[in-house]
Amino acid sequence: MQHYSLLDLSPVPEGGTVADALANTVDLARHAELLGYHRYWLAEHHNMPGIASAATALVIGQVAAATSTIRVGAGGIMLPNHAPLMVAETFGTLATLHPGRIDLGLGRAPGSDMATARALRRHMAPEDSFPQDVVELMGFLGDSDPAQPVRAIPGEGTHIPVWILGSSLFGAQLAAHLGLPYAFASHFAPTLLSEALHVYRENFRPSASLDRPHVMVAAGVCAAETDEEAAFHRSSQLLSFARLRTGRPGKLPRPVQDIDAHIPPPVMAQVQAALSVSATGSPAQVRRQLGEIIAAHAPDELIITGMIHDHAARIRSLEIAADVLADLQDGSAAA
């Protein structure tokens, strides 16, 4: 494992505001940088009361301005919602302001419900143009060509690293075909993780961007001093995901002691399956569980995420995870 990174959904806690969530994101990023995390990614979601990162590029800009060395990027931008030229100009501006630090992960899903997708796009094309849009976007970020009729300014010549994000075999096949790094959304959709990584690695074609496969696996982490404390804080994410699954999305709930009393067993089974690529507990437990994930999937990079209501507890989880991941990274390098 070469790196460990952090994915932040900028959660809006119950009893808090969007302003609180955005301030927490900037503070968390500063801690992540000091703790040795390699990347700090934010994700595009719309019409979600509990997520404050809808205007993802703007939040990336705030995080990049508040830090100095950590890479900052999108995990990801939902490309069907945007014209490739606009994405190239936006991220080209970010890369110009923060050279050598900006990543661009691209997703194929809308990151919203269909009504919101219509509000975003107005005119929805029936065909799937994601592969063509990715190639077009990469062209705008490539070498300057004055003869090109449409140019991204800023954008051209920045060569921002482009990642393909996915939770199915489609993204794995596209990333392999284009020779791009691939990040799998196993923190909430792990079903096809092993198969997708196999498809990507077996079919990878070297490119100007990358000469060998590079896989990022996502995992949920909720770490604390004891298993009991970690389970208490993780109840917020379980509740949030259960409410989303049952059509009642909202702010990130306060944690509860008896989570099984708040989620019906059939829903809990679905939630636990969706969030199964995760580590929860004391430092020793988190070390064991993350070690198992790394051993099973051999990622080049692990990106962790955790929806914890209390900001101080979230920072402590980040600290524990950093200690564990630094040791696991050293161990994999020695092996």
What's the rounded mean pLDDT across residues 252-281?
A: 97
**Is the pLDDT confidence value at 322 over 60?**
yes
The pLDDT confidence band at residue 4, using thresholds 50, 70 and 90, is very high
The pLDDT confidence band at residue 232, using thresholds 50, 70 and 90, is very high
Q: What share of the chain in percent tops pLDDT 70?
A: 93
How many CB atoms sit inside 10 A of residue 100's CB?
10
The pLDDT confidence band at residue 129, using thresholds 50, 70 and 90, is confident
The pLDDT confidence band at residue 113, using thresholds 50, 70 and 90, is low
Determine the Cα–Cα distance for residues 47 and 250; give it in Å rounded to an integer: 10
* Model pLDDT, residue 332: 62
pLDDT digits (tens, 9 = 90+) for 181-204: 999 999 999 999 999 999 999 999
Chain-centre distance of CA 97, in angstroms?
22
* Model pLDDT, residue 97: 98
How many CB atoms sit inside 10 A of residue 291's CB?
17
Task: Name the average pLDDT for the chain.
Answer: 94
The pLDDT confidence band at residue 330, using thresholds 50, 70 and 90, is confident
Q: Output the six-digit token pair for 259.
A: 């989570």
**Is the pLDDT confidence value at 290 over 90?**
yes
* Model pLDDT, residue 331: 72
The pLDDT confidence band at residue 16, using thresholds 50, 70 and 90, is very high
**Is the pLDDT confidence value at 73 over 90?**
yes
Cis peptide before 126 (omega within 30 of 0): no
* Model pLDDT, residue 147: 86
* Model pLDDT, residue 297: 97
* Model pLDDT, residue 168: 92
What's the rounded mean pLDDT across residues 36-59?
A: 96
Q: CA–CA distance from 209 to each of 95, 137, 183 (Å)?
A: 17, 14, 15
Q: What share of the chain in percent tops pLDDT 90?
A: 89
Helices (H), the chain: 18-34, 56-66, 84-97, 114-121, 130-141, 169-178, 193-203, 227-245, 265-274, 283-297, 311-334
96 phi/psi in degrees, rounded to 5: -70, -40
* Model pLDDT, residue 112: 53
Determine the Cα–Cα distance for residues 192 and 277; give it in Å rounded to an integer: 12
| Domains, the chain, ordered by start | 3-334 (3.20.20.30)
Q: Is the separation of the CB atoms in 111 and 78 below 8 Å? A: yes
* Model pLDDT, residue 292: 97
**Is the pLDDT confidence value at 117 over 80?**
no
In the block, tokens 């509990």 appear at 50
Determine the Cα–Cα distance for residues 136 and 41; give it in Å rounded to an integer: 23
